[in-house]
Amino acid sequence: MLLSDVATLLVNSFTWAMATFLVAAGLTLVFGTLHILNFSHGGFFMIGAYVAFSLASALGGSDSIAVYLFGALAAGVAIALLGLVVDRLVLRRLAGVEDAYVLIATYALLLVCEGATKLVWGLKYQSVMPPPSLDGAWALGSVVVPRLSLFIIAAGVAVYVALEVFLNRTRSGRLVKAIAADPWMARLLGVNVRLVYTATVAIGFALAGLAGGLLVANQTLSPTLASAFVIYAFGVIIVGGMGSISGAFFGSILLGLIDAIGQWLLPGLPGLPFFVAMTLILLLRPQGLMGHAQ
């Protein structure tokens, strides 16, 4: 293997990892705080992508990176507002109920997302062109690095750093962590736990919408978009440790590397190394890389 091949493999695996982390971040944040495994997260990611697509279409296309980022942020805000509605109507009712009910309820929400997407945007495939500054590639010697790949990597790292700073360096973030650890004690100390839960849901959903907007030029838009990402998003949060932002971040990097190396060594078995690695990691460390043993 040449050095240029190694570099390409690293860029590809980090692109996959950060795209998956962007989707997984909100999922693991909500699970870590509310202990609700939101199966519909991929559905809201998908709606975020469609919102960004509609904005780009209304503005005559993503001609500049500013318009592209505006679309992503607007998608984040729109999905955060949807999250507040979902919290009010569904998630609050799931507090303290058995996991099986939570899974069924959030799976039903996913179906609602898919149905709503079909009603609003139809069945046909759509796509968004990246803005000119993210189109094309930089050639570093014999290594071709697509600009969109670097943008996705940068976006993933930025979201990770922002979440880490928020959770560990701000009062609000520490409050979220405290409530995640012991909501009963937090309530006893006068913290408005309900309000923090609602804010966490809004942030988690905003992350789903933001991911949809940031990744809109990365893949086709169709009502099945949710399922294309969500399996891998669940994979990285399970491997990383459920509820851990760092776990999802490093889990996605690890699985991205394994998938890329696997594709290099076993081109006739695409996708297989990912699932084999996931199985092995969970056999060796059932709580995930950065999760806590029960």
Partner 1 sequence: MGHLHRRRVLQYGAAAASALALPGLTRAQGGPLKIGLITPLSGAQEFIGSYVRNGAEIAVAQLNNAGGILGRQVALEIRDDKANPAAALAAARELLGAGINLHIGGISSAVVLALAPVMQQEKGIFITCGAGTEKMNHEAYSPNLFRPGDSPDARGRAQARLMAEKYPNVTRWTGLIPDHEYGRTTWSIFVDGLLEFYPAIAKKKPEILDPVLMPYGVSDYRNAVTAALRQQADGCYNSTYGGDAITMFQQARGFGLMQRYKVICDSANEFLVARGLKQQLPAQWTGMHYYAAANKGNAMSDRFVADYLAKTKDPEPLGWAAEAHAAMYALAKAIEKGKSTDTAAVIGNLKGLTWDTVTGPRYMRPEDNQAVKDVELVFIEPANTEKGYAVSQYVKVDGKLVILPPAPGQKLKLRTA
Residues making contact with partner 1 (CB under 8 A): 5, 8-9, 12-13, 15-16, 19-20, 123-127, 129-130, 135-137, 144, 146-149, 217-220, 222-225, 227-229, 232, 259-260, 263-264, 267-268, 270-271
Amino acid type, 29:
L
* 40, 179 Cβ separation under 8 angstroms: no
Cβ proximity to partner 1, 190 vs 268, nearer residue: 268
Residue 224: CB minimum distance to partner 1, A = 5
Residue 220: CB minimum distance to partner 1, A = 4
Cβ proximity to partner 1, 30 vs 260, nearer residue: 260
Cβ proximity to partner 1, 126 vs 246, nearer residue: 126
Residue 118: CB minimum distance to partner 1, A = 8
Cβ-in-10-Å burial (0-12, 13-18, 19+) of 92 comes to middle
Taking alpha carbons only, the member of 90, 39, 82 closest to residue 229 is 39
Residue 260: CB minimum distance to partner 1, A = 5
Taking alpha carbons only, the member of 108, 116, 77, 75 closest to residue 91 is 108
Cβ proximity to partner 1, 72 vs 203, nearer residue: 72
Query: What are 175's two structure tokens?
Result: 């409050």
Query: What are 201's two structure tokens?
Result: 């849901």
Rounded Cα distance, 221 and 201, in Å: 25
Cβ proximity to partner 1, 101 vs 138, nearer residue: 138
* 42, 34 Cβ separation under 8 angstroms: no
Amino acid type, 253:
I
DSSP codes of every residue in 76-109: HHHHHHHHHHHHHHTGGGGTTS-HHHHHHHHHHH
Cβ proximity to partner 1, 148 vs 196, nearer residue: 148
Query: What are 110's two structure tokens?
Result: 């996913």
Give the position of tokens 């570093």: 140
Rounded Cα distance, 181 and 177, in Å: 6
Residue 73: CB minimum distance to partner 1, A = 22
Give the position of tokens 């695409």: 270
Residue 52: CB minimum distance to partner 1, A = 15
Cβ proximity to partner 1, 96 vs 268, nearer residue: 268
Cβ proximity to partner 1, 6 vs 66, nearer residue: 6
- Which positions ≥6 away from 17 have C-beta within 8 Å? 156, 236, 252, 253, 255, 256, 257
